[in-house]
Amino acid sequence: MEWFNVGKIVNTHGIRGEVRVMSRTDFPEERFAVGKKLGLFKPDAKKPIMVKIASHRKHKNFELVTFEGYPNINDVVEFKEAYLRIAEHDLTELEEGAFYHHEILGCTVFSTEGQEIGVVSEILETGANDVWEIKPKQGKLHYIPYIEDVVKEIDIDERKIVIEVMEGLLSE
């Protein structure tokens, strides 16, 4: 079974078993909803500890979460640096034209003229729009904004993306 990151536990919060989570999802209200089950992967662990969300609230730039059966800081202190992941079968369908990061990463990028540019190696969340890091077979990395003017076609099944190469877009 495949697992996908939705957050990282960066610290505890208070003494009542609350943990501070740095969210890695566009859907925190859904992913951290009360009753939701997630896999908690401690560093170097091969198998997750299955946890169920008991409470969730937003605080500054973090999600504050408690888990059923872990009511005290002493129960959760060992979870620092652990990742919270969702099972593939729990992923929800996205609206037309929206994609999960794991669907885009590893896709080969071509120009509208058919020239291979490289492979999507990283997705940077900048706020306004995502920026895709494209790794060519040789040379410098390219950074492509995920906007309509640039990204013309995405074929997840073929692992292929077509972009409009505007002047100055690609690194020399």
Q: What confidence tens digit (pLDDT) does each residue in 52-61 have?
A: 999 999 999 9
Asked if residue 113 and residue 83 are part of one domain, the reply reads: no
Among candidate residues 19, 53, 87, the one where a domain is terminated: 87
Residue 26 is predicted with a pLDDT of 81
| Phi, psi (rounded to 5 degrees) for 62 | -120, 160
Q: Are residues 14 and 73 in the same domain?
A: yes
Which of 87, 112, 139 is the last residue before a domain boundary? 87
CA dist 143 and 148 (Å) reads 15
Name every residue whose Cβ is closer than 8 Å to that of residue 93 and which is 6 or more positions away in sequence.
none
109 and 144 together in one domain: yes
The model's pTM is 0.69
User: Is the pLDDT assigned to residue 93 strictly greater than 80?
Assistant: no
Per-residue pLDDT averaged across 104-108, rounded? 93
Instruction: Report the DSSP beta bridge partners of residue 37.
Output: 52
Which range marks the domain in which residue 154 is found? 101-163
CATH number at residue 37: 2.40.30.60
**Domain-embedded: residue 171:** no
The SS3 of residue 65 is strand
| 105 vs 101: CA distance, rounded Å | 6
pLDDT at position 95, please? 75
User: Residue 118: its pLDDT value, please?
Assistant: 95
Residue 170 lies in a domain: no
| Sign of the Cα pseudo-torsion (157, 97, 93, 28, in order) | positive
Q: Give me the pLDDT at residue 172, please.
A: 66
Q: Last residue of a domain, which of 42, 61, 87? A: 87
Is there a contact between 100 and 94 (Cβ–Cβ < 8 Å)?
A: yes
At 71 the pLDDT is 96
Q: What is the mean pLDDT of the chain?
A: 91
Judge whether residue 166 has pLDDT over 80. yes
* Per-residue model confidence as pLDDT tens digits over 21-52: 999 888 899 999 999 999 999 988 889 999 99
Of 47-51, 68-72, 93-97, 100-104, minimum mean pLDDT range: 93-97
Q: Do 63 and 124 lie in a common domain? A: no
Distance from chain centroid for Cα 46:
20
Reduce the DSSP state of residue 96 to 3 states and report it.
coil
- Quickly tell me which residue has 């495949």 as its tokens: 2
Percent of the chain with pLDDT over 70: 99
Residue 34 lies in a domain: yes
Q: pLDDT tens, 1-27?
A: 788 889 999 999 999 999 999 998 888
Is residue 78 a part of any domain in this protein? yes
Tokens of residue 61, six digits: 């730039």
Number of domains forming the structure of the chain: 2
Q: Is the pLDDT of residue 96 over 90?
A: no
